[in-house]
Structure 1
Amino acid sequence: MIDFKEILSVSLILFSVIDILGSIPIVINLRKKVGHIQSEKATLVAGVLMILFLVGGKSILGLFGIGVEDFAIAGALIIFAIGAEMILGIEIFKADPEATTGASIVPIAFPLIAGAGTLTTILTLKAEFAQLNIAIGIVLNLILVYAVLKSTTWLERKLGKTGLDVLRRIFGIILLSIAVKIFKTNVFPSEMF
């Protein structure tokens, strides 16, 4: 049954975890490397991943003998690499001249939009909210993600080179912090602290 309060709660939780506004510098940086990012494809793939995890996330991971914690740690390592690239100005994700759509899937659809944090959050939300309301919250977030991905050129013009550089470094530090938190939470159980 559709519950607007649940939809609002789920939407806000996912919005804060996905943090598409915080990913703008990363998206712009990747677009400069690969030339073009297919917003539709990135949004669609991220949406499919999120819905798959909503319907059978634990089962999917279980097929590979992977726990939620293992998945979260792998995602944390990728997020850490992206953050380090943003802060240090090094190139980890190299553009493949023959692949025209690679950056749309990795690292944009996964792990930036539908990363370990998002997918683990979706699994967690199932304990508290109805599946239909979570699905609607996912769709609402995907609409926002698509709008942001489509407007990165405009946002880049508005921010300018200096503003973009400052944002890239700030969000690089934030990404590193998120990666460390995800890693720490899943490697060291809370009982140890």
Structure 2
Amino acid sequence: MKDKTDRRVKYTRALLKNALIELMQTTHISKISIKALCEAADVHRTTFYAHYKDQYDLLLQIEQELFEDITRYLDVQEVPQEQQGFPLTIQKLNWILQYIQENAPVVKALLSVNSDIAFQRDLMQFMDIIPINFGMGIDEKTREYIGIFYIDACISVLNKWLEGGMAEPVEKMSAFILQLMYDGISSFEQK
């Protein structure tokens, strides 16, 4: 009996998550009512409240599951010996972008203007996108500004890639992001 209950719980939560992702395609999270969410998922409000406090709680659960999935995804990948210890390598970024590509609707909704901005920052920090050794000899305040610049640039690149239907291959996007991160904008100038 417990297995049947667990399946129903998983199914209900999946319905609610999919409904929220769908609604976030056009509506900001703050404007999504529980009523609209329940109608889209075809579940009763009491069912919703049995699982979540509000739409933000559901969004947080989706975000946490995404991070857990990425962690599990990366854990099964083997990092070449020469790349171990680096905060962000081409291989690691390829794997992350591959995961994003495979889960595009969810990531697109979470990175959209209709989501919570905190997710965007959490994602980049989760990915260790800011090189650990950058800015040696730079004061802490300046390092913070540089870090924010990197984070926002990467988020914008990911959004542009997702909005463009991920036309560029994962490998090309990984190389682009790393070149931007480690070599700067001037490295793209025609010589």
**TM-based fold match above 0.5:** no
Higher helix share: 1
Structure of higher CA gyration radius: 2
If the length of structure 2 is used for normalisation, what is the TM-score?
A: 0.30
If the length of structure 1 is used for normalisation, what is the TM-score?
A: 0.30
- Which structure has more relative contact order (CA 8 Å, sep 6+)? It is 1
